[in-house]
């Protein structure tokens, strides 16, 4: 049986958001270059996309999340940038965002959404988002089965409608061993057992 995927990516951008006092993160592995952006870095684009400042990439990601979060209980905390040195990641910079959630109503404790796909080497490459207003447990594996906001989120990560923009993760992120995103598989919404324990639901 093969071992875990080695972590060789030069950089990690850790997107941070806090819901009802609990901070979550979503990690994206990538290449970056030094620049005049307020974070000090620009993205290195995949395919025919163009480079953007990491500050724009932070805004791009949280714009995808905004329809699922209410700014009454959620803050988008920006991101931290980490560079790989030997076998560890060392902190290099951070960036903020002015994007805020646009949803309303009570948040869904301990739920999660997974945008699942594969990289160009056919390795499984999921992205997990937590405690958004995603609705009941669900699995969709065709674009038409997704609501508009979920479809936009999956599109920003896997370009399912061929309309991803330069600031969205599909344009600049890759797997932790540096293979770019290739094909989308599904969106799955379900509860998360670790979060159920943290939130006192079990």
Q: Domain map of the chain by residue range? A: 11-198
Q: For tokens 């399912």, what's the residue?
A: 160
pLDDT per residue over 128-149, tens digit each? 999 999 999 999 999 999 999 9
Quick one: pLDDT at residue 51? 98
Q: Which of 106, 105, 148, 157 is nearest to 129 (CA)?
A: 157
| Banded model confidence at residue 2, pLDDT cuts 50, 70, 90 | low
CB 28 within 8 A of CB 49: no
* CA–CA separation, 17 and 33 (whole Å): 25
Task: Render pLDDT for 156-171 as a digit per residue (tens, 0 to 9).
Answer: 999 999 999 999 999 9
| 1: pLDDT strictly greater than 50 | no
How many residues are present in the chain?
A: 202
Do residues 147 and 153 make contact, with C-beta atoms less than 8 angstroms apart?
no
């Amino acid at each position: 049986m093969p071992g875990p995927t080695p972590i060789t990516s030069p950089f990690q951008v850790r997107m941070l958001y806090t819901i009802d006092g609990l901070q979550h993160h979503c990690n994206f592995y990538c290449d970056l270059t030094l620049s005049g952006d307020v974070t000090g870095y620009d993205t290195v684009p995949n395919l025919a996309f163009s480079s953007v400042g990491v500050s724009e990439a932070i805004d791009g990601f949280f714009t995808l999340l905004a329809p699922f979060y209410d700014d009454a209980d959620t803050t988008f905390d920006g991101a931290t940038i980490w560079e790989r040195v030997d076998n560890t990641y060392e902190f290099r910079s951070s960036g903020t965002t002015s994007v805020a959630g646009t949803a309303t109503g009570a948040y869904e404790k301990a739920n999660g959404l997974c945008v699942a796909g594969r990289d160009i080497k056919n390795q499984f490459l999921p992205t997990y988002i937590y405690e958004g207003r995603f609705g009941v447990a669900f699995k969709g594996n065709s674009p038409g089965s997704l609501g508009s906001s979920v479809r936009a989120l999956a599109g920003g990560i896997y370009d399912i409608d061929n309309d991803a923009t330069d600031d969205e993760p599909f344009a600049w992120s890759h797997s932790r061993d540096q293979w770019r995103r290739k094909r989308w598989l599904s969106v799955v919404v379900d509860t998360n057992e670790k979060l159920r324990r943290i939130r006192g639901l079990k």
